[in-house]
Amino acid sequence: MGMNWTITEADKLYNIERWGDGYFAVNEHGHLCILSTKDLKGPCIDISDVIEEVEKLEIQFPVVIRFHDILRSQVININKTFNKIIEEAKFAGHYYGVFPIKVNQMREVVEEVLDAGTPYHCGLEVGSKSELLVALAFNLSAQALTIVNGYKDQDFLRLALLGRKMGKNVIVVIEQYSELEELLQLATEMEVEPIIGIRAKLTTEGSGKWSGSSGERAKFGLTIPEIIQATKYLQKNNLSHTLKLFHFHIGSQVTDIRCIKDAVTEGVRIYAKLKQLGLPIDYFDIGGGLGVDYDGSKSLCDSSRNYTLREYAEDVVYILKQVCDLEDVDHPHIVSETGRAVASPHSCVITNVFGKISTVVNNNNNNGDQSFLLKSPGEHILVNDMREIHDELNQNNFQEIYNDAIQKREEMISAFKLGIIDLFDRAKIEILYWKALAKINQFVKKRDDVPDELKELDNKLSERYLCNFSVFQSALDTWAIGQILPIVPIRRLNEKPTVLATLADITCDSDGKIDNFIGHNKHSKTLPLHELKEGEPYYLGLFLTGAYQDIMGDNHNLFGSLNEIHIYSDDDDPSDFYIEEVIKGNTSKDVLAILQYSPSALASSVKKILDKQIQRKKIRPREGVRLIDFYEKCLHEYTYLKK
């Protein structure tokens, strides 16, 4: 155990308190745990215990763990926050949250959100026919809204009107002008009155990765001339009273609170002017965009945000109140389509590290063999040169020596290509070279005034931990958009981590890696981890993965969906939790079937080929049977590594 290392230091190193937002902490055993009520005295689920339970149930890793209490807590939290500020501000409207299904469509997740949100009349937001098919089947409270966004064809509009026939508050948000004419025509045909929303194309742009969702070049929404045209069209058809909602969405993961303030300020003016024209709009829908502080930096970085939920809600409520009062119009009800911030903390991916790729110097395979380092007769002069470089190194000359070492190694490679150096001499030079770099890195760490090239040594010398998962299935945004996710060892947090590592997944794709992490003050290319111990599994958790990652993840290399464990906290249970549900991930045959391979056809084809081998007496009949059984067994198993 590292000297003077405490769990407080682990918390600081991995920034747990800051990205964890009260839900995550390190317990006295050095295990990461979940505080579902954000209260140290409340239930505390030791994730290490959950892993033990998963092992006992013989469920294979990697697994997704969903903490339903966190999901509930997040839903309650956003509602309570808005309600509290509405009360403090003496604002006349109510808050109605709608959960954007695209963030996480899994039935258990949507059900949990709606259940926790029932007292607050939580509704749903959809952006496609399939999502609307789901939303229509949920029994929402009488006041809850179903908001229909996205481009719409006739059947999409008909489905929305079907919802009206069912007596639901389905609001069709007009994204492009032609949808309005089509909607009114279909409504007449179906003899039902629609409820209409209008999405405005604001000039205010968001900040962060999704800023293109708003502004003049945005894909969605009506311009001001189109909005006026729409209101005239409604008036002409005597349907002005059906326009109930004003909507905008400036993009997901808005990093800067100023963008939110600007958008609300612009939006509420449009709302007020429309009210003054006599349109009975009741709802002001601010879309999504509430950010998640993935790296805990509270900054303008794309993986962070420079505001809290409370500040967000305060800005929305107070700006609305001020402008409405100035314009002398009624306060609207506030709707938000907050998805990412509600869903992301509730799930994590647990992967087991099953090995590592080391640089030559860290590799235990040849550390024992000192013969590589000893001077031997007849060795090439370059070996001797590199040995001198290695031996002469000290804190005063390490910058020069670094350059010499690089140069000598290049000379060695050229010499090797020309056939002048043999394998043994090359091996010696490589070991000496890496040993020199490792020593130089020690000197670099004691100094601030070194060139960037030398600061990169940590990365060059880092180990690669091999993790049983696929980045493309379970952490897509780390690859697609450079998203930072908090990654923390589940156990041994009371031990000082002594290895700097990057992560490699099991896909055969060189992009299947993670090499950008939460660092001390800025992001870091390496993650401090513990030395692996023989026979002791080492588990890493990837956190805040509950929004978007599940559905956007793909089957690259035919790695399929993960086994899932759904957990509730239970104060009466000694371990403070119980597993409510286990959902099996894809087997190989599931993934193959999606791509039109029939597992039985595959098996019979393999059997035919084996039969021929039996006829040719290349294998025995009994062995043939064993082999085909094994092939079929593999078709029915999990797609990830078994160890």
Ligand X SMILES: *Cc1c(COP(=O)(O)O)cnc(C)c1O
* 3-state SS assignment for residue 638: strand
486 in contact with ligand X (CB under 6 A): no
Taking residue 617's Cβ as centre, other Cβ atoms within 10 Å add up to 7
Cβ at position 252, least distance to ligand X in Å: 3
Nearest to 19 by CA among 335, 456, 447, 345: 345
- At closest approach, how far in Å is the CB of 310 from ligand X? 17
State which of positions 222-251 bind ligand X (CB under 6 A): 249
Q: Hey, what are 133's tokens?
A: 């098919």
Residues 100-129 that bind ligand X (CB under 6 A): 100, 102-103, 125, 127
Q: What are phi and psi of 271, to 5 degrees?
A: -55, -50
Rg of the chain in Å (alpha carbons) = 30
In the numeric block, which tokens belong to residue 404? 């010499």
Listed ranges 95-103, 373-381, 485-493, 560-568: which one lies at the site for ligand X (CB under 6 A)? 95-103
Closest separation between CB of residue 351 and ligand X, Å? 25
Total residues at the site for ligand X (CB under 6 A)?
17
Within residues 24-63, the interface with ligand X by CB under 6 A covers none
Task: Indicate which single residue of 60, 252, 474, 586 sits in contact with ligand X (rule: CB under 6 A).
Answer: 252
Nearer to ligand X among residue 230 and residue 290 (C-beta): 290
The site map against ligand X for 274-313 (x = CB under 6 A) is -------------xxxx-----------------------
Task: Report yes or no: 251 and 289 within 8 Å, Cβ to Cβ.
Answer: yes
CB 245 within 8 A of CB 339: no
Both tokens of 595, joined, read: 């791509």
Smallest separation, CB 253 to ligand X (Å): 6
Q: How far is the CB of 561 from ligand X (least distance, A)?
A: 21
Q: Looking at beta carbons only, is 12 or 219 nearer to ligand X?
A: 219
User: Bridge partners of 146?
Assistant: 124, 170
Residue type (1 letter), 634: C
Which C-beta is closer to ligand X: that of 287 or that of 541? 287
| HSE of 481, CA atoms in CB hemisphere, 13 A | 14
Q: How far is the C-alpha of 610 from the C-alpha of 614, rounded, in Å? A: 6
Q: Report how far residue 225's alpha carbon sits from residue 187's, in angstroms, rounded to the nearest whole number.
A: 24
Q: Which of 77, 306, 338, 470 binds ligand X (CB under 6 A)?
A: 338
Residue 340 found at the interface with ligand X (CB under 6 A): yes
**Cβ proximity to ligand X, 149 vs 474, nearer residue:** 149
Burial track 133-150 (b if 16+ CB lie within 10 A, e otherwise): ebbbebebeeebbbbbbb
Strands (E) in 444-485, as ranges, are 463-467
User: Which residue's CB comes closest to ligand X?
Assistant: 288
Residue 290, classified by CB atoms within 10 Å of its CB into exposed (0-12), middle (13-18) or buried (19+), is: buried
Span of 28-36, 221-229, 336-344, 446-454 interacting with ligand X by CB under 6 A: 336-344
Q: Shortest approach of ligand X to residue 470 CB, angstroms?
A: 23
Using rule CB under 6 A, residue 337 touches ligand X = yes
Nearest distance, CB of residue 210 and ligand X, angstroms = 7
- Residue 339 within binding range of ligand X, rule CB under 6 A: yes
Considering beta carbons, is residue 288 or 332 the nearer one to ligand X? 288
Name, in order, each residue with C-beta under 8 angstroms of 169's C-beta and a sequence gap of 6 or more: 123, 140, 143, 144, 145, 146, 195
Q: Which stretches of the chain bind ligand X, using CB under 6 A?
A: 100, 102-103, 125, 127, 149, 249, 252-253, 287-290, 337-340
